[in-house]
Structure 1
Amino acid sequence: MSSPSTADLLIVDADVVTLDPARPRARAVAVSRGVVVDVGGDEVAERWRGSRTEVVTLGGAALTPGWVDGHSHPVGSLTMSAGADLTAVRTLDQLRERLAQLARESTDGWVQGWGLVPDVFPGGVPRADLVDDALGGALCLLRMADAHSALASTSLLRAAGVDGPRRFASTAEVICDATADGPRPTGFLLEWDAMALADRHAPSAPDAELRSRLRSLLGDMAAQGLVGAHVMDGDAASLDLLARTEDDGDLPLRLRVAPFCMPGVDDDDVAQLVAWQERTGRRWRVAGVKLMIDGTIDGGTAWLDHADANGESTGSYWRDPQAYARAVRALDAAGVPTVTHAIGDGGVRFVMDVLEPLGPPVPADSAPGRRAAHRLEHLETLPDDLVTRIGRSGITASMQPTHCSHFVAADGSDNWSVRLGPERAGHGWRIRDLLGAGALVVLGSDWPVAHFDARAIMAAAQLRRPVEDDDAAPVGPDQAISAVAALTGYTRAPALAVGDAARGVIRVGAAADLTAVGVDPTTAPPADLAAAPVVLTVVGGAPVHRTL
């Protein structure tokens, strides 16, 4: 192969894991104008080195296709993770002590926190009266770990004028106690519309601070090997924030944004979502629409075929599920791909009934076509028939391994498992079965619900337990997947899911989005992968992180 020019970037002395069946391994990669132009051995450097070529020597580190988080909320997390990190809190006493400390330290009379698991409260049911006295009158908003519920202090409910139940376009709910004087809010706000009653009163950060925090977060993601993320939320304000942030300089990674389509949308709203598909920056673009057919099992708002142990999780997040179906069909007719949050088996079944008649998507390596490629997100509990349907449908399954490994107990004592019961909990996070049924499975974090470190997530997919806890029993060990499947879920699968055959592989003509890590992710023990340093991250042929 003769070279008409020199390379912009040469990566040499590498253990290249290409994920290209035609050439699975190599030692060097040449990049020009953001595209891989050669893959091979030492001869690559001889062919492509020039006076201006940047040469990166990996010293035997593994070079893989760039890692892409298939489900993340980096922009939304600026609000969703506001305040104190409460992910380590495990008892009500710990929570009260932490809130009292935060209230003492507060300079504006506000306390905010995030990542709180419901198991902290008796019966897994958050209540303001269990923490009010610890706050000393401070206004307090605690966002739960599932990102679908929050606890507002009695003082905040009073300030927000929330003194009873509310009716929304969705089935969101202000949870109330029945008293002699009528319904009285407990402080627990289920789902997004209810949470917004308190959210809108929380302190907001200045625009410059939001841009700085977003850029820092994206930089942290790139430093841990991510070259991109599928962003599963958005509205006009968040798209504008992305544009302003990129005005300050290139983003450290690529973002594909799917703005929200929520209950209550009308034809004009759908038309706006279609129009937003034209919005794009240098490293971000709108590419799809995000919907939610249900909520969460922990909150009792999922849509199950049969009620949970508390008699909850029996219906859709949309008061009229057919309105969801009409929105999806309209988006599909406009060629817009959809991603639907579907956690319960009843919700998954309904969404499949809507999507299957639309037909299979155009293959990623075929000529461009109008047919949109649709996705299902989360899929926390699936009976056998749904696994089979998803596998043969061509609809992508998007899964988050650490939701299982870090939030569920193998002994079934956690809130999620208790609500489902042993049989349905035993059908949880069936990643291996979906792959076996022929489904395309994309892996991700759901940041800030779980951390975005792809190394730990790929390890958890193989172990079905936290990689940092050797003593933890695995949850559903029969659903553990191979190291190659885990890497594919972070590389080739996200590319194919969005119809981009030029990514997720290292071969001539592929986009030069690359990740280098200290061990080979396809052969190293999971614990070694989780501990290995990310030494290089390349986006569009340009290094955005390096330690070499």
Structure 2
Amino acid sequence: MLGMTSADLILMADRIHTMASGPLPTALAVARGRITALGDRADARAWRGPHTEVLDLGAATITPGLVDGHVHPVMGIGSTRGVDLSSVRTLAELMVILKSARGTGWLEGWGLDPNVFEGAAITFAPLVEAVGPDVPVFLLMFDAHSALVSPRALEVAGITGPRSFGSGGGVVCDGEGRPSGQLLELEAVELVRAMLPRDAFADRCARLRDLMARMAADGLTAANAMDFEEDSLDLFRALEADGELPIRWRCAPFVMPGAALPEVVEKQALRGRRWRVEGAKFMIDGTVDGGTAWLDEPDTHGESTACFWPDPAEYATAAGHLAGHGVPIVTHAIGDAGVRYVLDTYATLPRMRVPHRIEHLETMPCELIGRFAELDVTASMQPTHCTHYTRADHSDNWSRRLGKVRADRAFRARDLRDHGARLALGSDWPIAPYDPRAILAAARLRRPAGSPSTSPVLPEQALTARMALEGYTMQAAAAAGLTDAGRIAPGCRADLSVFGLDPLTADPDEFAESPVPLTVVAGTVAHRA
């Protein structure tokens, strides 16, 4: 035991997955936020001091603390307002929900899947049928890159015809130049979102702390925030002034075309006890569903042919500038052309303690797979993007837009691992739920947890149970450049997740429902069932 210091906390359980080879311990000790000893239950008696808390968790399983690779906490608490539409599957369901939610003022909703329209044009017609033409409606689509709004919302925002932006997004119009209600990409969405009523700062603080507490209750000990905009700094400081955050955060400020790069560099110095700014988040393209991805060949609608940056070279220059100042680069890349361009850019950048990374990676040809290990680039993927929004028979909107060839080379998690890539897993909340138990299951099943009758999507890309757990632990730590995290060993951070079932041996569907009796962050209990 390090320094023979009495433990602050002793945990005992039938299984402790250290993520190293050898016999599994059944007890561990923690002091001053670090793991100090491993052994069996009998050894624990020697670690106790007068103030040690001792918890025997019985048949539970302890793992290194789970880390979500991709979350939007501050954006998410603002965009998950109003009606949750993520479970809506038909236009009839949508209209029933909107009718029941109608009140005075704005009607807001989020999480709407374009598959609800079953291949038909996405327009405000069902909104008008449900609530009439005079209600301002703002519905954020599931990808958060597009929105559907009512005629009254367009009027309030002063939108009367087509508009386009350098990012490839815009106001979608019919053949006569009249807005259809669909807004593509952030600049267009913001035209209407700017008209919505604002939440009070105290309410935002409460929502953010509640989010963190719920994440801890699902077994998460840390997350990568892919935004640090708006009032993020004030929120994190206010919450930490009231006590410890339930989970740790690494935050990457968003970098749009024309951004002030010196300000991004300055933000890297911002940190608190359990949060810090480390990295810069770029986007090289949009989404397949919205027709704003960057593909080698157009999609079946003749869309998804352009980079998010009007001049891709400006992205490369900005990434090079920030990397030259020691800032790790994070890039959203969905389409094959986008992934290729980012990899080519990363090949010119200096390698760093915290590796550069690419997010999402939805469709890639074989020649790109091996470059991740070659260039030491982290692949960051979200298994439920595949299992929640695509179908094995390619009848979903995403697959129809890509066509069979590109849909067949989608979400290639296993190929990346088999070729030596570092693979970090996560949720992309609020795009998909953050519960890591269901995501670990989906990574293995290639279908939603709890849906055994659903056919798996490209099952050959399934991860093993060990690979999936590594994606939330060891691989997540390596992606952050951390040598004292992602495993359970003396000297490592005492970030620990405890489950009622064993993630390496339990049936994936059953593990998705596993109890979470305890979550420990920095040696202190962040969640106790």
Task: Provide TM-score, normalisation by structure 1.
Answer: 0.94
What CA distance in whole angstroms lies between the structure 1 residues aligned with 2:357 and 2:91?
38
Q: Which position in structure 2 is the counterpart of 1:367?
A: none
Residue 520 of structure 2 is aligned to residue 538 of structure 1? yes
Q: Displacement, 1:124?
A: 5.0
1:210-359 residue pairs with structure 2 within 5 A? 210-265=204-259, 269-359=260-350
1:266-301: CA deviation from partner (whole Å, max 9, x where unpaired): xxx111011001111111111111110000001100
Aligned-partner SS, 1:178: coil
1:412-462: CA deviation from partner (whole Å, max 9, x where unpaired): 100001011111101010000000111000000111111111011000100
Q: How many residues align?
A: 528
Aligned-partner SS, 2:268: helix
Q: Which position in structure 2 is the counterpart of 1:168?
A: 165
Q: Retained in 2: the 8 A contact 1:441–1:493? A: yes
What CA distance in whole angstroms lies between the structure 2 residues aligned with 1:254 and 1:500?
13
Letter matched to residue 46 of structure 1: R
Aligned-partner SS, 1:469: coil
CA RMSD of aligned residues (A): 1.4
Aligned-partner SS, 1:194: helix
Q: Retained in 2: the 8 A contact 1:465–1:474? A: yes
Residue 178 of structure 2 is aligned to residue 184 of structure 1? yes
Letter matched to residue 37 of structure 1: T
Is the deviation greater in 220-229 or in 184-193? 184-193
Residue 211 of structure 2 is aligned to residue 201 of structure 1? no
Q: Displacement, 1:3?
A: 5.3
Residue 79 of structure 2 is aligned to residue 80 of structure 1? yes
Q: Retained in 1: the 8 A contact 2:2–2:490? A: no
Q: Displacement, 1:359?
A: 4.5
1:25-61: CA deviation from partner (whole Å, max 9, x where unpaired): 2111100000001011134312210110011111021
Q: Displacement, 1:159?
A: 0.6
What CA distance in whole angstroms lies between the structure 2 residues aligned with 1:456 and 1:102?
29
Aligned-partner SS, 1:493: helix
1:366-405 residue pairs with structure 2 within 5 A? 373-405=355-387
Q: Displacement, 1:345?
A: 0.4
Q: Displacement, 1:168?
A: 3.2
Residue 126 of structure 2 is aligned to residue 144 of structure 1? no
Residue 415 of structure 2 is aligned to residue 433 of structure 1? yes
Aligned-partner SS, 2:139: strand
Letter matched to residue 500 of structure 1: L
Q: Which position in structure 1 is the counterpart of 2:11?
A: 11
Within the candidate set 377, 388, 402, 1:406 is matched to 388
Q: Retained in 2: the 8 A contact 1:223–1:537? A: yes
Q: Retained in 2: the 8 A contact 1:2–1:47? A: no
Within the candidate set 463, 481, 491, 2:473 is matched to 491
Q: Retained in 1: the 8 A contact 2:364–2:410? A: yes
Task: Provide TM-score, normalisation by structure 2.
Answer: 0.97
- Identity rate of aligned residues, in percent? 48
What CA distance in whole angstroms lies between the structure 1 residues aligned with 2:427 and 2:2?
42
Q: Retained in 2: the 8 A contact 1:516–1:537? A: yes
Aligned-partner SS, 2:231: helix
What CA distance in whole angstroms lies between the structure 2 residues aligned with 1:423 and 1:121?
24
Structure 2 vs 1, CA of residues 3 and 288 (structure 1 numbering), >3 Å: closer, same or farther? closer
1:118-174: CA deviation from partner (whole Å, max 9, x where unpaired): 122252532113322322321110000111100111101101111122343432211
Q: Displacement, 1:400?
A: 0.4
Letter matched to residue 148 of structure 2: L
What CA distance in whole angstroms lies between the structure 2 residues aligned with 1:2 and 1:411?
55
Is the deviation greater in 162-171 or in 468-477? 162-171
Q: Which position in structure 2 is the counterpart of 1:505?
A: 487
Letter matched to residue 371 of structure 2: R
Gaps of 5+ in 2: none
Letter matched to residue 216 of structure 1: D
Letter matched to residue 220 of structure 1: R
Q: Retained in 2: the 8 A contact 1:435–1:441? A: yes
Aligned-partner SS, 2:202: helix
Q: Which position in structure 2 is the counterpart of 1:455?
A: 437
What CA distance in whole angstroms lies between the structure 2 residues aligned with 1:46 and 1:3?
16
Letter matched to residue 458 of structure 1: L
1:217-265: CA deviation from partner (whole Å, max 9, x where unpaired): 1100000000011011122522222212222222110011111001222
Letter matched to residue 176 of structure 1: C
Residue 414 of structure 2 is aligned to residue 443 of structure 1? no
Q: Retained in 2: the 8 A contact 1:243–1:281? A: yes
